[in-house]
Amino acid sequence: MEFAAHGFEAASTRSIAAAADTQQPQINYHFESKEALWKAALDHLFDRLDESMRRHAAALPAPVTARDRLAVTVRSFVHAAAELPELNRIMVHESTVPSDRLRWIVDRHTRPRFELVATEWRAARATGEVPPIDESVLYYSLVGAASLAYVNAPEAELLGYNTLDPAFIVAHADALVLTFLPAPISEPQRPVREGTTT
Amino acid sequence: MEFAAHGFEAASTRSIAAAADTQQPQINYHFESKEALWKAALDHLFDRLDESMRRHAAALPAPVTARDRLAVTVRSFVHAAAELPELNRIMVHESTVPSDRLRWIVDRHTRPRFELVATEWRAARATGEVPPIDESVLYYSLVGAASLAYVNAPEAELLGYNTLDPAFIVAHADALVLTFLPAPISEPQRPVREGTTT
DNA sequence: GCAATTCTATATCACTTGATCTAATTTGTC
DNA sequence: GACAAATTAGATCAAGTGATATAGAATTGC
């Protein structure tokens, strides 16, 4: 995906067309502009994100507590981030500078998903199941911790790590649940409620 | 910084020159090429990162244990990431696709800093002071958790949060120490060894 | 004070960009 | 098979790209 590799401006319609094995004017025929193509691509990627998270959540034990629900969300998001590095790459490309495109994404895709995580976090906070961390701090810490390894996969490879190895992904998900969602203080440190996947 | 806002390809030498209130050919006069300018900019930004981390570390209580040393590193990095969002923006722009520029950064700047954190982590792991997490998983989780809020500051603002507010930054640093470096299992959950900074 | 050097400004190079126009081709329907 | 609609292909547009050539203006060293 050209938008993920280089960002909107640097992705030329000719290279996009070439990657799709067609000609450059086809983009303006089937979409009204480069920006309309970009929006269609993002809608599609967010659909795939939702589908991927639902699929991975379904493979996990059903959650009981509010903390369990967050653990499922965290594990599902880690797996989805590994499956769809393009999406988080585009997000980080677009989120570094204010723009109409950023406003479009935030209104249409980011805010609803942020509210979902914030609501889950508030519920777990209310019962004292998770550490005393504000939801805005938590959101960016969690999303950043879950996505960077896959966004920066080419860098990780140069450092000698294969972040697309299933073993890495599972260890990564385990680590985030262990750190952000430790078992309640009165219990032992290890999280034991959720099973590990794949 | 134009490179941080749009990435290397999308940052035109004319807009860079305009931002510096000069003419476009000056870039090829004072530097040999656009790429040479970019390398000079990165060397400068990494110098500022090191200086910023040293300055913030000096303002914290002197560490005693290996875990304390990591806590100082984490807090210093959070503050530096907030101070220098441009650097992590460039890093994330460049790390999404293999390139000669990425190899140059990793060899010159990333790998030495990764080794530093990995070494500190291994030392704390050896004494059982930190959770059982592999250093590669830890590195990307920690860097991602510490930097995304500032890299994506324009997005956070649209969500109604000001991640450049000193109160956010301190809460953020506290949260990362609390989660990634919880007090040893035998002690209470809250981190108490390091003071909070401005 | 004046020449040598360094820096700045303008014009221009070949090339790439997103978009559009027009003609050729394929597809769908009877 | 015929005809209309949808799609594809090629050519071309003005605007923007990094780099360079050249001439003018400051600055430096003596």
Nearest CA in chain A to B132: A175
In a domain, A28, yes or no: no
Nearest CA in chain B to A99: B154
In a domain, A6, yes or no: no
**Residues whose CB is less than 8 angstroms from the CB of residue B63 and which lie 6 or more positions away in sequence, other chains included:** B69, B71, B72, B194
In a domain, B106, yes or no: yes
In a domain, A150, yes or no: yes
- Please give the full DSSP string across chain B, using - where no structure is assigned: -HHHHH-TTTS-HHHHHHHTTS-THHHHHHSSSHHHHHHHHHHHHHHHHHHHHHHHHHTSPPP-SHHHHHHHHHHHHHHHHHH-HHHHHHHHHHTTS--HHHHHHIIIIIHHHHHHHHHHHHHHHHTT-S-S--HHHHHHHHHHHHHHHHHTHHHHHHTT--TTSHHHHHHHHHHHHHHHSPPPTTS-SS--SSPP--
CATH number at residue A68: 1.10.357.10
In a domain, A186, yes or no: no
Q: Give chain A's domain count.
A: 1
CA angle B30, B102, B105 (to 5 degrees): 65
Residues of A in contact with B179 (CB under 8 A): 131, 133, 141, 179-180, 182
On chain D, which bases lie within 7 A of the protein's CB atoms? 7-11, 16-22
* CA-to-C1' span, A32 to D20 (A): 38
Nearest CA in chain A to B183: A189
Give me the domain span that covers residue A166.
34-180
In a domain, A56, yes or no: yes
Question: How do the pLDDT tens digits run along chain A, 198 residues long?
Answer: 889 998 999 999 999 999 999 999 999 999 999 999 999 999 999 999 999 999 999 999 999 999 999 999 999 999 999 999 999 999 999 999 999 999 999 999 999 999 999 999 999 999 999 999 999 999 999 999 999 999 999 999 999 999 999 999 999 999 999 999 997 644 444 444 444 444
Mutate to test the interface with A, among B102, B115, B141 (most CBs of A within 10 A): B141
- For residues B151 and B148, give the distance between their C-alpha atoms in angstroms, rounded to a whole number: 5
In a domain, A98, yes or no: yes
Q: Indicate the residue of B8, B102, B189 with minimum beta-carbon distance to A185.
A: B189
In a domain, A90, yes or no: yes
